[in-house]
Amino acid sequence: MMKVKAREVGHSTVVSVPKSFGIETGKEYTVAIDNLGTITFEPIDVNPFAQMATGELYQENKDILVDDYAKGLENVEY
């Protein structure tokens, strides 16, 4: 187990993350502390569709679609 020490930088308390953890600079996290003092950092996921133009996903994958009118009726008995 690795030990790190909290230190003061300006008006903040900072705990260094070892480089061996592979954390990319600029990555954002939500932070929580529980009643025992355990601090949890959870990565904020980026929406992979946020930068796509409307219809772009369809255009890139239309060759694998069965038909344009599939409505999720795969298990319906007629």
User: How does pLDDT run across 18-52, given as a tens digit for each residue?
Assistant: 999 999 899 899 999 999 999 999 999 888 777 77
Cβ contact 38:22 at 8 Å: no
Q: Give dist(CA 60, CA 70) in Å, integer.
A: 17
37 vs 68 pLDDT, higher one: 37
